[in-house]
Chains A and B, each alone.
Chain A
Amino acid sequence: MVFAFLSVAVLVASFLLSLIIKDESKKAYIACLGASLGSVAGLLSFNGNVVFATNMPSVTFAFGIDPLSRFFLLVILGVSLLISFYGLGYVRAQRNLIGSVPFFPLLVAAMEGVLISRDAFSFLVIWEIMSLASFFLVTAEHENKEVQNAGWIYLIATHLATAFLMAFFVIMAKASGSMLFSKFTADPSYTPFTAGLLFVFAVIGFGTKAGIFPFHVWLPRAHPAAPSYISALMSGVMIKTGIYGILRTLTFLGSPPMWWGTLLVIVGVVSAVAGILYALMQHDLKRLLAYSSVENIGIIVIGLGVGVIGAAKGNMPVAALGFGGAIFHVLNHALFKSLLFLCAGNVAHAAHYLSIDSLGGLIRKLPRTAFLFLIAALSICGLPPFNGFISEWFVYLGVFSISKGFSGYPILLAVVGIIGLAFVGGLAVACFTKVFGIVFLGEPRNDLPKDCHEAPRLLIYPMGVLALLCAVFGIFPFLVLPFVSAASMVVLPGLAATSLGEPSLTSLSWISVAFAVLILLTASLFFIRKMIFRKRSVKHAVTWDCGYAFPTPRMQYTAASFAEPVGTFFSSVLKPSASVQYLSGIFPKAENFEEYVSDRAENGFFEPLFERIGRFLLFVRRKRKNTAQSYLALIFITLMALFILEVWFGI
């Protein structure tokens, strides 16, 4: 606990110090090294609880660390530590970003504060600090119109979410008579209606931060706008505070009914499928990665749903697999998604743009980045022998166990879950082969800038550590398992006896064996092949391509054409808009073809919604005359509405 406070103090101090210092490179050093130092201190912290009573009525500050927040602390601070080195190198190369860099340690501090705060008041305040710090980081390049727009969308989304959270905590505090989390947990005696309402509020409030469909709209805007190290931090770890929030909520509300699990599984499947479909259709590398975060959050939420179903039905093995898989996937996604965004940062730095269709052949210019991207892509597709497989395997197993252990409608839910997961798995392979193949392989589609070069070591080494962890946690999942099961036990205290179950432990050791076999066989074949080729002559020629003599880079498949079969198949859902100009005449001029898929949650849900709200408010404003009476009338109407809420619903 002492270390946690020390770490927050270091982070905040480096924020303040770097904010007032004028010299640019000192500013960057203080901010980034302060973030590293603070993260290291936070990583050393252990479980504990502290309560600070104040003189103000009903305001008591409480902080604490339990295995659940400790797991998230390790994930968030570990990744932040690595990103802080990358960030230092990144902002030194791009001086225009230095103005926003002081907010980086503040964001880390706020994420840590969210995890350790144990009362509603400080939680909400720190939650807002986290949102604002990340807002300033997103708008680092505020001269750009698109960045401004992204910043606004992010700010609005996050504040709407906070409104739900405020309602959530106020109702909670009223019901339990205290702002302390420990009181929330101690007395879960809400009516089913109140508990359900609270749960839905939490899912919306925390889900917006996590990026659950359809509340994900800010993600694909904010991530491309932010500098890459910030996208990595936000997509890798910050959105996980939303998942933490949902898990924490589950500890408040007592034993969950079945429909919460159903809701979570369905929301998860929809997020995962929609996320990966939109990801597949994107043309911008970082936008694509943002949508892929929506997909992975979906997988995590499916896991949570499975866990809740297990808890609701008292089936502990199912609950353990569900929560375990979800929590494990939080770690894995933090590792490979931040790695992917950092790779995107290297690409942006080398090629100056991120449009997938204009890139190509970067493996020759950026060999290390390409290799790291490959590992991250394999992990995120859940392919052996990397860590993504393990957590997806847990979730799969959880869903399968539902189909085995229950009868009736949970089975149909399990079938939906399996179909969703399997489909997402297949499309993830399509999506990431597309990115890796188009961006890094083949020939450059446009001329690369002359100074196109690999990132310096300060940037590559932290990325290497992330990739290494992906491999290590894939082959030795036992290293993480104690932390995962300890964290799940906080969510579901009854889990203690069964933990993650005996069968899954033996299975995991078999998986390790299978992975070892895979690696050893590949390595030995690789050396045999090398031996054979020592005696052979190897020629290099132009790509054969069925005898085409002069293939040009422009003739290669593009990302858009790669995704076309899936896009056509789902055209009724995705509604791609294309601008086609057909060739005409004997000597046709050069023509363009463009296809663009816009987000239906944005166009079809939020835009009309906000439009209607806007019209209603305009109506109210027109009715209102600027007199005291009309203000009094408005106040009266509001009071009556609150009164009705209180009397009828008792909340």
Chain B
Amino acid sequence: MPPFFAGVINRVKSIFAGRKGPPLFQLYFDIFKLLKKDAVYSRSTSYIFQFAPLVVLVSAVCAGAIIPLTGNAPIHFYGDIILFAYFFALSRFFMVIAALDTASSFGGMGASREAAFGAFSELTTFIVIIALAIITRSLSLDKIFTGGGPYLIAKPSIILLFITFFFILLTENSRMPVDDPNTHLELTMIHEVIMLDYSGPDLGLMLYAASMKLFIFMAFAAMLISSDASHGMFVGTALLLLKITVLAVIIGVVESVTARVRLIRIPQLLIVSFVLSVFALLVALFMKGVL
């Protein structure tokens, strides 16, 4: 499922560029092709390099199991929202050490940036989480999103949260103003450069994991707009997928019309999202009347 939405983004971008663009299912073809291939490993790498794609993929899947995509989430409990964030931290940990394992300066560059920007975006993520926890009085993603009907968008704090989370989405998934998913030979790249030395099935797993992560973040953002659990499982899921598609289109548009910011500017961008999230939190506190 997830690679389809990456295809949507690419299609929107190619329409903007006046190209016909690859098929919507291109990423599936790529992944299947890669899974059938042989592999080449650098002599500098160790088993960490080969083990990392598995952990990255599995932790993305586990994080996905915590959000309520269809009906209730498979894994849900009081405080699962922290586990959600830490699963992504686990995947980041392995991405970074895999990049350092190649002994390449490019890999080190990507690793260093991923670690630094990841730390900043994790901070913002937690503020979003605490704001959501205060608004909904719950610490479980399942409760937050399926708790009480389509009420979320109506609140100003949620609009701010949505904007913030959209920033996080772009940062965490190495999308446009932060990182350019199309470049292979540029000094600003973060995510691409981490995967530079991967080949064959491992690359396929990494690509799939990346699209999975994008999908989960888009689903999270979509559920911030409104929760559809009240429509029943079938309609709810359909609505969710529709919203994710719309989000994918928006991401495509954003990627087409904005330029990537200079690397030294990225922390400023992250601070903007941090400040916005703190603002959202304060608004949420005021609305609750606890401050």
Contacts and interface: CB of A to CB of B under 8 A. Distances in A.
Interface stretch (B52-60, B233-241, B248-256): B52-60
B285 interface: yes
Give the contact-size bracket for chain B: 35 or more
Given A442-B101, A541-B43, A430 B291 contact: no
Interface stretch (A130-138, A140-148, A564-572, A592-600): A564-572
B-side interface mostly: helix
B13 to A, nearest CB: 24
Contact of A525 (B46, B54, B290): B54
A532 B116 contact: no
Contact of B130 (A382, A403, A406, A434): A403
Contact of A569 (B54, B85, B116, B281): B116
A527 to B, nearest CB: 10
A111 to B, nearest CB: 32
B38 A537 contact: yes
A70 B290 CA distance: 41
Contacts of A446: none
Contact of B38 (A393, A418, A506, A536): A536
B80 A510 contact: yes
Nearest to B108: A557
B58 A426 contact: no
A-side interface mostly: helix
Given A536-B200, A562-B112, A565-B116, A546 B127 contact: no
Contacts of A551: 103-105
A404 interface: yes
A576 to B, nearest CB: 15
Interface centre among A426, A521, A532, A557 (most CB of B within 10 A): A426
A183 interface: no
Nearest to A442: B103
Contacts of A539: 38-41
Contacts of B37: 536
Interface in B262-291: 264, 267, 281, 285, 289-291
Interface stretch (B19-27, B87-95, B145-153, B155-163): B87-95
A510 B82 CA distance: 13
Interface in A521-544: 521-522, 525-526, 529, 532-533, 536-544
Contacts of A565: 112-113, 116-117, 267
Interface in B178-222: 184-185, 196-197, 200-201
Interface residues of A, number: 86
B40 A426 contact: no
Interface centre among A408, A433, A506, A539 (most CB of B within 10 A): A433
Contacts of B107: 543, 545, 557
A206 B216 CA distance: 45
A422 B38 contact: no
Contact of A541 (B41, B93, B285): B41
Interface stretch (B1-9, B71-79, B223-231): B71-79
A313 to B, nearest CB: 14
Contact of B119 (A361, A415, A544, A566): A566
A441 B100 contact: yes
Interface string A356-394: 000011011000001000100010011110000100010
A507 interface: yes
B137 interface: yes
A508 to B, nearest CB: 8
B133 A408 contact: no
A522 B54 contact: yes
A397 B111 CA distance: 30
Interface in A550-568: 551, 553, 555-557, 561-566, 568
Contacts of B100: 433, 436-438, 441-442, 557, 562
A448 to B, nearest CB: 15
B108 A561 contact: yes
B62 interface: yes
A544 B77 contact: no
Contacts of B108: 556-557, 561-562
B164 to A, nearest CB: 14
Contact of B93 (A429, A443, A542, A545): A429
The 6 closest A-B pairs by CB, nearest first: A557-B108, A437-B100, A426-B119, A422-B126, A510-B77, A442-B103
Given A425-B89, A538-B41, A540-B42, 10 more contacts: A381-B89, A418-B126, A429-B119, A430-B96, A540-B40, A541-B43, A545-B102, A551-B104, A555-B104, A557-B100
Interface of A: 360-361, 363-364, 370, 374, 378, 381-384, 389, 393, 396-397, 400, 403-404, 406-408, 411-412, 414-415, 418-419, 421-423, 425-427, 429-430, 432-434, 436-438, 441-443, 503-504, 506-507, 510-511, 513-514, 517-518, 521-522, 525-526, 529, 532-533, 536-546, 548, 551, 553, 555-557, 561-566, 568-569
